Amino acid sequence: MNRTNMFRFFAILLISTIVLMALSKITSLAMASFSKKEPVFAEGTYIGPINISSLNKAEAESKISENVLDWQKKSTVSFTFFNKTISVPMSVVHFKVASSLNACLDGEKNILYTEVDEQSLKTILFKKLENPELVNLIDLEKVKQLLKEKAGRLDSSQQTEDLVQYLKASDNKPKIIDSKRIFVNDPADMEDWLSSNSTMTLKPEKIFSLNDYIQNLDNDDKGFFIQCASAIYQLTLPTNLQIVERHISDNLPEGIELGYEARVDGSKADLKIYNPNHTAFVIKSEKISNHVLKLSLIGPSDPFTYQLVKKNVKTYAPRKVIQYRPLAETAANQNGKYGYSAELYKQVALNHKVFYESLVSKDFYLPIPKIVVENLKQPESDATSDENSGTENGATEYTANEKTDSASQNTTTGNTPNNEAANPSQTSQNGSSSNQEKPSSSTQNTNQSHGHSTDRNP
């Protein structure tokens, strides 16, 4: 073999070796690349409500980000604070997608981690409430927790929260908020009440019904029930408890202050109160004496103070109704009773500054008319109609002139107070009634028949 051929042989051998080594390297790199392919999440893996099964980390992150962005655009949380409504956009919530994926466990439901921009939240509250003192009362940590939980579920349901329930916790130790004493005519009524209702509880976020407590009592003294219900109603007004149902009588009962009556009867007429708080209120009854019952409202302290103000208080004088009856009939007069109307408002104050006022009720009581009964006088023309027949049986004969003079004196007038003369056009001789005075602020209908007048039944 000559030198040239030997050189060619070694050249071919070298090139072949290099090619084989290169192919081997490329194959090993390809195999290594294939073996290092990013794994995917196992079946049944969730981040929040988002299913990321069979997705790798990059794909899962992209899917979560798209869902979050779409949810933020159309979701808000609304808060009410007395007469104000505050809408908080979900842009104040930041989603920690990468942290959620790093902490993710295969085949399980995992948390979608979020955080709330506190400064942005405070700015929204300041803008809506317009009172730094009110904002400082709000427990921002509770509000942030609510927003984080809603965002973590990507909850798109519309919900409204009462911001009063997110105030900073004050002294939750129960205390006596107020007490009222009522006079009881029959001590037995008090004993019956105390045997069943010495303690009544207004449960958190529940409606309290007074009829549930009184419908099984033995006594049926509606006046006593009205006294107790009115006292309870007056106790709950200067709080954040909400009146759901309340009734009043046709006429203001004796001993009840205008604007504070609550009528209950154990069946239809009820007093219902809603407790929006997370803590209970208690109404405690105790005997002071045989005729005095004390009712106390016990509950948590409140950062606000409540004032009750009556406005547009009016009094309506009773009208006078005269009833004419035949001489043979007798009836007693009826004393009139004044009517009243008033509007009751609740003012809410913080540090002696009123920031909210709402109408509680408009009460109206019609007056009871005063009824005066008078007897009809027999017309003299009827009494002497037969006297001109002659002197039979010793009767005296009157001349036509004498009869005319006698008849001309037969006149009946009514005595009316305040220098008001009776109007003959309003008086009939068949026993009807005449109305002499009508209050301008109210309307009353009086049904009259055969000498009887009937008061209206509103």
Q: Are residues 191 and 160 in the same domain?
A: no
Tell me if 263 sits within 8 A of 248, measured CB to CB.
yes
Q: Are residues 138 and 225 in the same domain?
A: no
> Is residue 16 one of the residues assigned to a domain?
no
Q: Which domain holds residue 243?
A: 171-303
Q: Are residues 275 and 288 in the same domain?
A: yes
How many folded domains does the chain comprise? 3
Cα separation, 442 vs 299, in Å, equals 41
- What is the token pair recorded at 435? 């109305």
334 secondary structure, DSSP code: B
pTM (2 d.p.): 0.67
**Which conformational region is residue 418 in: left (phi greater than 0), alpha (psi within -120 to 50 degrees), or beta?**
left
> Is residue 434 one of the residues assigned to a domain?
yes
DSSP per-residue codes, 160-177 = EEEGGGGBPP---S-EEE
Q: Are residues 259 and 371 in the same domain?
A: no
Amino acid at residue number 62: S
CA 9 to chain centre: 105
Cα separation, 282 vs 280, in Å, equals 7
Cα separation, 210 vs 233, in Å, equals 10
Contacts of 6 (CB under 8 A, 6+ apart): none
Q: Are residues 119 and 75 in the same domain?
A: yes
Cα separation, 249 vs 63, in Å, equals 65
Q: Are residues 274 and 153 in the same domain?
A: no
Cα separation, 154 vs 277, in Å, equals 27
Q: Are residues 454 and 421 in the same domain?
A: yes
Q: Are residues 441 and 327 in the same domain?
A: yes
Contacts of 207 (CB under 8 A, 6+ apart): 244, 272, 273, 274, 275
Q: Are residues 241 and 377 in the same domain?
A: no
Q: Are residues 320 and 458 in the same domain?
A: yes
pLDDT of the chain, 458 residues: tens digit per residue: 566 777 777 778 778 888 888 887 777 766 655 545 678 899 999 999 999 999 998 999 999 999 999 999 888 899 999 888 999 999 999 999 999 999 999 999 999 999 999 999 999 999 998 888 889 999 999 999 999 999 999 998 888 898 988 988 766 688 999 999 999 999 999 999 999 889 999 999 999 999 998 877 776 778 899 999 999 999 999 999 999 999 999 999 999 999 999 999 888 899 999 999 889 999 999 999 999 999 999 999 888 999 999 999 999 999 998 888 876 566 678 888 999 999 999 999 998 889 999 999 999 999 999 998 887 776 665 545 544 444 444 333 333 333 333 333 333 333 333 333 333 333 333 333 333 333 333 333 333 333 333 333 33
Q: Are residues 320 and 290 in the same domain?
A: no
Q: Are residues 217 and 157 in the same domain?
A: no
Question: In 118-209, which ranges are continuous DSSP H helix?
Answer: 118-129, 132-137, 140-152, 187-197
> Is residue 356 one of the residues assigned to a domain?
no
> Is residue 290 one of the residues assigned to a domain?
yes
> Is residue 344 one of the residues assigned to a domain?
no
